[in-house]
Homo-oligomer: A and B are copies of this chain.
Amino acid sequence: MIRVLLAEDQGMMRGALALLLGMEADIEVVAQVGAGDEIVAAALTARPDVALLDIELPGRSGLEAAAELRAECPDCRVLILTTFGRPGYLRRAMEAGAAGFLVKDGPVEELAEAVRRVLRGETVVDPALAAAALGAGPNPLTPREAEALRAAVDGATVADIAAALHLSESTVRNYLSAAIGKTGTRNRTEAAREARRQGWL
């Protein structure tokens, strides 16, 4: 019996996946969580063989949780399941020690099969996506540039961002300008879009 932990914020999706996996003869869903900061605790008590993690979760990102799981629960394999096949997400997932990376497109049958394969020690990644991730270089943004860009997405002004990051306004403008240059865009909004598309944020 393969013990699976399921982390997914959308209730209906989570319930549907749990039911589907539960119908498989060799799979058992032993824990379900809807927030990223509940993953590690749930894994420590439920002791799953495979953790099926969404990336975009309230509380903590599935990627951060994956890294922590590697440390706290070394014999639990991580399978990332996400809406967005962003190259940077795949890269970060692999760096975090994930054993597989699935996008929510594609048929449901893939899912149970992927669970079994990661448990056998295989690495499950869509080949086309892997190529894209390798093709696009690594994240060129420095940590601070990425932070400034993140803070800018919802329309915050330079003053807002400076206050949030405890920086001077000049520094913020420099970071944003650098990010705009590195993304090859024309303003912070385009830069944020592109960075998000690449999975750099």
Chain A interface (Cβ within 8 Å of chain B)?
10-13, 15-17, 19-20, 83, 104-111, 153-155, 157, 185-193
Instruction: Please pick, from B20, B83, B104, B110, the residue contacting A19 in the complex, using a CB distance under 8 A.
Output: B20
Answer whether A155 and B16 are a contact pair too, CB < 8 Å, given A11-B105, A11-B106.
Answer: no
- Number of chain copies forming the complex: 2
Are A12's CB and B107's CB within 8 A?
yes
Answer whether A185 and B16 are a contact pair too, CB < 8 Å, given A106-B11, A107-B11.
Answer: no
Are B185's CB and A105's CB within 8 A?
no
Are A155's CB and B185's CB within 8 A?
yes
Q: Which residues of B contact A83 (CB under 8 A)?
A: 10
Answer whether A13 and B16 are a contact pair too, CB < 8 Å, given A186-B155, A186-B157.
Answer: yes
Q: Which residues of B contact A192 (CB under 8 A)?
A: 155
- Kindly state the separation between the CA atoms of A96 and B110 in the bound complex, as whole angstroms: 36
- Closest B-chain residue to A153, C-beta based? B189
Are A154's CB and B13's CB within 8 A?
no
- Kindly state the separation between the CA atoms of A23 and B16 in the bound complex, as whole angstroms: 12
Are B189's CB and A12's CB within 8 A?
no
